[in-house]
Structure 1
Amino acid sequence: MRTVSRPFPIAGTALSSPCPGQRTGRPFRAEDVPSALEDELWDIESATRDPATGHYWLGFENFHAILRYTPGHAPDAMRVLEGEVGWPSNAGAEAMIRLADGRFVVLPEGGDEGLVFASDPVLGASAEPFDFRRPVPGYAATDLAQLPDGRVLLLMRDTVFAIPPFETLIAIGPPPRAGEAWTPRLALRLDPVIPSENYEGLAVRPLEDGRVAVWLMADDNLSVLQRTLLAKLVFDSSAERD
């Protein structure tokens, strides 16, 4: 799914992608990156943040770029995965998370293989694959978030013959590990709970009572048939069934 909003500072001479036709997984510092494709890096699909430093990372489609920004929103470094992965141009880093232990996890839209980086991918950490086994066939990953207890929530979406044409669910599981199969289990189908829409964003925040607020964000794709929505759920681990 494509968006055209640019809420982060991308344009300008500070940072952009490599020259046309160049394929590389080499990390770049901002001052070393040419500006030939700066207009191509507009389709932000994923975002994650280090709460300790304030740095954040954005994942882009088309060239499968990961860009890092400083707490002051200045572009800092980037890595282009286009030459390392076989993802379609419009099915790039759809879901990305920096885990509490410093590892990064990236899932492409509709793919059955994800990547784990032992540390910051823009600093050259190796991309190690893992098998992704979907809890429900047909659903594609759209975002990831880590709970305070270490488990990972996975937002997933399927397209159906309806208006809006989406069904959504949340899955849960331990963090993925390189070289192992990741099999999160179905936790909740969202369609009976909140309005059906194109939910692509997921965030969590601990509450004072020990529960966790789970925020969901829907993208309208500039369509008159879709809506931009923000929904809040509450996750209570004490109410889980074995």
Structure 2
Amino acid sequence: MRFSRRGTLRLGVRLAGGALAATALGGSAVPASLVMPLSPRMDRLPFFDAHDHSRTRFGELTFRSGLEINDPYPRFGGFSGLWRARDGARLLAVSDRGDWFAADVTEDKNGLSGLTGAIMAPMLDFHRTPLGRTENYDVEAVTIKDDIAHIGIERTNAIMRFDLTEQRLTARGEFLPTPREMRDWPHNAGPEAIAIAPDSSPYPGAIVVIGERIRRGESAPTRGFILDGEAHHAFDVARHEGFDITDMAFLDNGDVLVLERRYRILRDVGARIRRLPGGDLRTGAVLDGPVIFEAGAGQQIDNMEGLALHRTRDGRLVLSLISDDNFSILQRTLLLEFYYDDAD
């Protein structure tokens, strides 16, 4: 994997003598056992609404395209966080078994057409131990800026930092200091959303993290933190109707998009996105905002957990969603795209 110094991900995995070529990962060759090239099968989704195939408008979003992705590799799936390059040409996802998934994105006039150069690799801690072998395996969120990746880990409620400039996906992670309250969050409802605040935010460059469901009750607000250097600022995010927060992304103007899901297998499935006013982000705030997108069992969704933003060549904003299939044969790994023309 090669991340340029401008933060763009180039994929080009090659096998050489049982090890990945140094040109693919930089530095000395890495044992092939650490990085797995994939050849996923991809089925395009020609429609989003199961009842009205011609319908493309859902709230303020317009369905662009989608893929169902399958691969026989046993560790494929469980994707809970998503990043895409600014032009959408590359993606990186993280799994709740502690793995990276990366690929180049191909498209045509109808949107997504496939993935090439797909690989998976274990995330490594400072001692080069795969996170999947530690208590920090349950990775739920990722954000990348200037080749620096930050991930949110559920169960241990930790944040890790990876410098992908030189070592790429074999970089060793390091833990960041977090507030004591965050470390005491519920072990299976912790940091599900993470993003870097833009220059337009009251806290430019800060790491913002939101817990999935910190308090009991279907509509009890959840907690977030602004990690601004050594300063940690707590805020709340309102929850409604039993939806849990699963990811977030900042718009250029500082507003926050939060992805939410309600998933009760074989009974109830829902996904929606709310837009929260970024100017309200501050210590003690309770952020809330309107729903701009909602989908349910009548649409092609699953357990939607990852959200990423990019722009097309003509400047249109695209929201990408990825689903966590929980490694279940009853679920699907979906990659969905929607235009958001009302972002500004």
TM-score range, shorter chain: 0.7 to 0.9
Identity, % of aligned pairs?
28
Distance in 1, Cα, partners of 2:252 & 2:141: 20
Scaled by the length of structure 2, the TM-score of the pair is 0.55
Is 1:163 paired with 2:276? no
What is the one-letter code of the residue matched to 2:245?
Answer: A
What is the one-letter code of the residue matched to 1:146?
Answer: F
C-alpha change, 1:130 and 1:82, in structure 2 (3 Å) is closer
Unpaired stretches in structure 1, ≥5 consecutive residues: 18-36, 120-124
The structure that is strand-richer by fraction is: 2
2:160 to 67, 73, 78: 67
Structure number with bigger Rg: 2
Distance in 2, Cα, partners of 1:237 & 1:196: 22
1:84 to 164, 181, 187: 181
Unpaired stretches in structure 2, ≥5 consecutive residues: 1-79, 81-94, 101-121, 199-203, 215-221
| Contact persistence 2:269–2:297 (CA under 8 A) | no
C-alpha change, 1:223 and 1:236, in structure 2 (3 Å) is same
Distance in 1, Cα, partners of 2:290 & 2:309: 18
Which residue in the other structure is 2:83 paired with?
none
Is 1:13 paired with 2:127? yes
Post-superposition offset of 1:128: 1.3
| Contact persistence 2:224–2:234 (CA under 8 A) | yes
Which residue in the other structure is 2:89 paired with?
none
C-alpha change, 1:87 and 1:204, in structure 2 (3 Å) is same
Distance in 2, Cα, partners of 1:39 & 1:82: 22
Distance in 2, Cα, partners of 1:110 & 1:221: 19
Is 1:48 paired with 2:153? no
Post-superposition offset of 1:192: 7.3
C-alpha change, 1:126 and 1:67, in structure 2 (3 Å) is same
SS of 2:97's partner is coil
| Contact persistence 1:164–1:197 (CA under 8 A) | no
C-alpha change, 1:88 and 1:80, in structure 2 (3 Å) is farther
| Contact persistence 1:43–1:60 (CA under 8 A) | yes
C-alpha change, 1:38 and 1:226, in structure 2 (3 Å) is closer
| Contact persistence 1:67–1:75 (CA under 8 A) | no
Correspondence list, 1:86-165, <5 A: 86-100=184-198, 101-111=204-214, 112-119=222-229, 125-134=230-239, 136-160=240-264, 163=266, 165=268
Post-superposition offset of 1:138: 1.1
Which residue in the other structure is 2:319 paired with?
214
What is the one-letter code of the residue matched to 2:197?
Answer: L
Post-superposition offset of 1:174: 2.2
Post-superposition offset of 1:237: 1.4
| Contact persistence 2:125–2:174 (CA under 8 A) | no
C-alpha change, 1:38 and 1:190, in structure 2 (3 Å) is same
CA offsets, 1:198-227, max 9 Å, x none? 000000002233320110000110111111
Which residue in the other structure is 1:26 paired with?
none
SS of 1:89's partner is coil
CA offsets, 1:164-204, max 9 Å, x none? 74211000122232222211221110237841310000000
Distance in 1, Cα, partners of 2:298 & 2:307: 16
Distance in 1, Cα, partners of 2:213 & 2:173: 29
Considering only aligned residues, what root-mean-square deviation do their CA atoms show, in Å?
2.7
Scaled by the length of structure 1, the TM-score of the pair is 0.77
- By relative contact order (CA 8 Å, sep 6+), the higher-ranking structure is 2
| Contact persistence 1:164–1:226 (CA under 8 A) | no
Distance in 2, Cα, partners of 1:108 & 1:131: 9
Distance in 2, Cα, partners of 1:5 & 1:47: 12
1:197 to 282, 302, 305: 302
Which residue in the other structure is 1:29 paired with?
none
For this pair of structures, how many residues does the alignment match?
211
